[in-house]
Structure 1
Amino acid sequence: MDILALVEWIDEAPAAALLGLLTGVIFGVAAQRSRFCLRAAAVEFARGRMGDRIAVWFLTFSTGVVWVQGAQLLGLFRASDARMMAIPGSWSGAVIGGLVFGAGMVLARGCPGRLLVLAATGNLRAITAGLVFAVAAQMSLSGMLSGLRTRLAALWTTSGGHNMDLLSTLGLPSYGGLLIGLGFAALALVVSRRNRIGAARLLFASGVGFAVAVGWVSTFALASVSFEPVAVTSATFSGPSANTLMFFLVSDPVLNFDIGLVPGVFLGSFLASSYAREFRFQGFEDAANMRRMMTGAVMMGFGAMLAGGCSIGNGVTGASIFAGTAWLALFSMWIGAMVTDFLVDQRGVGAQAA
């Protein structure tokens, strides 16, 4: 795609939104067909299993790293220009926000990206929880929860006025990130083979990681030819969900990558589920289930904004450029999810059996 020709044709803001739409469609199709979900992977691991959900998550994570690091070696992308790397990160936010997000992810039965994918398949539970997540994220960004978020994030931040680049901090060569990604990919293939995962699902799982690379490379290319500043970013669902919500509520909406991303994921998942004849309406089982999901959605909204991103924004997008706080937030999300599953779901099942 000739980015300069696209900008000259439709201008910079619509071009950014179109690139977001393209990234979102690829993500939506791939995530729907692969059933990619960090919550499901964390729950499997917490229960002592190395099942198909862990295999899919590892493959998505590893291919995201491989595609992005490969693009950087080819000169198609520069991680230092990414918005996540160019601003200070918060270690305290990564830990506290990650733990809160991970707990909320289990309660809501899905991360924001997964909820958006499910919403497009007719899941009314996911639609409701996703809207609550977007409202909570906006409240945490600039509403009544923003003060608490700011105070917690300021407790411990990265030095030097930017995020920590793990590769340079560890003294690894330029191809070190690619080798790490290939190592995780080998692990993913081993686990996939043990679980007899088909080639189609493996292809779609890697497609989620590819979507992240498309976002990074396309916004970097756009920033290189634009007269106005353009954020170099990729797939994440905390800020974009809040921004998309406000886009439809304010009188002078502004187009950007985020505004195209969320509708793109919805469209991609809808097309994939319709083609596979998996679209069907589903509602809440009971009031208790609804309360649980609403609570989890609020926790995810606040936790994601505090952590600097959701399970996709930190766990795949941020990790693919080796942003220090992203890796710490991802680890914290896994811990929060596993502890919550043990305390809420596993103990709950045991209590019912007794």
Structure 2
Amino acid sequence: MPFEFLMSQLGETGTSALIGGLIGVLFGFFAQRSRFCLRSAVIEFARHTHDGKLTVWLFTFSTAVLLTQAFIMLGWMDVRDARQLSARGSLSGALIGGALFGTGMIMARGCSSRLLVLAAQGNLRALLSGLVFAVTAQSALHGLLSPLRTAIAGWWTVEGGSARDLLVITGFGHAGGALFGALWLGAALIWVRRQYVNTWGWAGAIGVGVMVAVAWLATFWMSRSAFDSMLPIQSLSFTGPAADTLMLVLSPPGQTLKFDLGLVPGVFLGSFISAALWRELKLEGFQGGQSMRRYIAGALLMGFGGMLAGGCAVGAGVSGAAVFTLTAWVTLSSMWVAATLTDRIMDRETEAAMLPLVPMPAPTRTYGVQPKPAFDPELSATYARP
């Protein structure tokens, strides 16, 4: 196994944190360059615009699905022991948590991973929202909100194993999963030719998807190389890791390292490096109290919703979807619907109401005499004699 030497030098947990950090750096770099964001993709789809944001998301999604399923078909990894498939899941948590997360990412103007990327660029709004998100996620996991999360999650559950595996339920198998990813990748390739998506847009989005698949592969290999086989098989997610990173900072030194604790700092560092190289570092703050209330409320909804659903826009929407977990697909669908409705209610109607009403000029009767054109200083300067 490729990680045995590292484990002999750094230990199993240290190696896991190092690999998580390296994957996080690359994820953050590619996410910052491509502007990868589920919120932007949902808004573009809902408003029927063609800005390339949906195409960027599709490149990431399809690449992650295709590559993950290809790794499984090649026999390089087996994800059946991953928590997303083997443990009991909650369909009620996926539905309600996904809806809360989708609403929150519209209000906070970015999902959890996007907030982390923006915070690394100097966006103080994203930094505060990310901190609120992490505190809420920790509260939902082990704190004051934990009983509410547990109660909602228990309303409708599904057993682990084949009952949570859509490829088993549908009978498509891993070949069908790979074909599904290939079809959507083909669609993204067609759309990128019709829209203005720069090279870093689509290439960076592919890089983000590759990191999701590589994370599955790396954690599988580490779990097989570990002496006690206690390292979990997982991919990228930001709800649980954000809460874990927060507790690492607040707890006494000597906490056990793991993949998640390397991931979040790695993403921040990779995003910072990308923004610095392209001179995009810029401090940005809130415009007023109303804006701050909106961001904080959105972060609260995302923190609780992400923990209830068992994943965020990346954890469920890409990582979980890449292994065709039933609850992950329910979460992604719920996020998409809730985000679309929230955008329509909170932003589109507000923007429409703020559009200035331009009165139509009254008709002028000239009786054959052409009216004198209004003075235009720009045209006058253009055609003035030298």
What is the TM-score of this pair, normalised by structure 2? 0.89
- The answer for the alignment partner of 1:322 in structure 2 is 324
1:1-354 equivalent positions in 2, closer than 5 A: 2-160=2-160, 164-228=164-228, 229-251=230-252, 252-353=254-355
CA contact (8 A) 1:68 1:213 kept: yes
CA contact (8 A) 2:244 2:261 kept: yes
Cα deviation code 1:149-195 (max 9, x no counterpart): 11111111113567610011101133111100001111111221111
Amino acid at match of 1:14: G
- The answer for the alignment partner of 2:361 in structure 1 is none
Cα deviation code 1:49-97 (max 9, x no counterpart): 2431000001100001011111111222212021211111111111100
Aligned residues: 354
Post-superposition shift, 1:351? 2.3
Q: Provide the C-alpha distance between the structure 2 equivalents of 1:316 and 1:159, rounded to a whole number of angstroms.
A: 22
CA contact (8 A) 1:61 1:209 kept: yes
CA contact (8 A) 2:80 2:161 kept: no
Q: Provide the C-alpha distance between the structure 1 equivalents of 2:107 and 2:198, rounded to a whole number of angstroms.
A: 30
Secondary structure class of the residue paired with 1:119: helix
Post-superposition shift, 1:115? 0.3
> Are the structure 2 counterparts of residues 166 and 50 from structure 1 closer, same or farther at C-alpha, using a change threshold of 3 Å?
farther
- Structure 1 window deviating more from structure 2 (110-119 vs 225-234): it is 225-234
CA contact (8 A) 2:89 2:160 kept: no
Post-superposition shift, 1:46? 1.3
CA contact (8 A) 2:162 2:168 kept: no
Post-superposition shift, 1:217? 0.7
Q: Provide the C-alpha distance between the structure 1 equivalents of 2:322 and 2:235, rounded to a whole number of angstroms.
A: 11
Q: Provide the C-alpha distance between the structure 1 equivalents of 2:273 and 2:132, rounded to a whole number of angstroms.
A: 24
Amino acid at match of 2:255: P
Q: Provide the C-alpha distance between the structure 2 equivalents of 1:219 and 1:299, rounded to a whole number of angstroms.
A: 30
> Are the structure 2 counterparts of residues 60 and 161 from structure 1 closer, same or farther at C-alpha, using a change threshold of 3 Å?
closer
Amino acid at match of 2:262: G
Post-superposition shift, 1:197? 1.7
What is the TM-score of this pair, normalised by structure 1? 0.97
Q: Provide the C-alpha distance between the structure 2 equivalents of 1:347 and 1:216, rounded to a whole number of angstroms.
A: 41
Secondary structure class of the residue paired with 2:144: coil
Post-superposition shift, 1:344? 0.4
CA contact (8 A) 1:97 1:329 kept: yes
Cα deviation code 1:204-257 (max 9, x no counterpart): 110000111111111100000112311111110000000000011112411000
Secondary structure class of the residue paired with 2:250: coil
Post-superposition shift, 1:347? 1.1
Amino acid at match of 2:237: T
CA RMSD in angstroms comes to: 1.3
Secondary structure class of the residue paired with 2:158: coil
Query: Between the two proteins, what is the percent identity of the paired residues?
Result: 48
Secondary structure class of the residue paired with 1:118: helix
Q: Provide the C-alpha distance between the structure 2 equivalents of 1:287 and 1:311, rounded to a whole number of angstroms.
A: 27
Secondary structure class of the residue paired with 1:120: helix
CA contact (8 A) 1:24 1:268 kept: yes
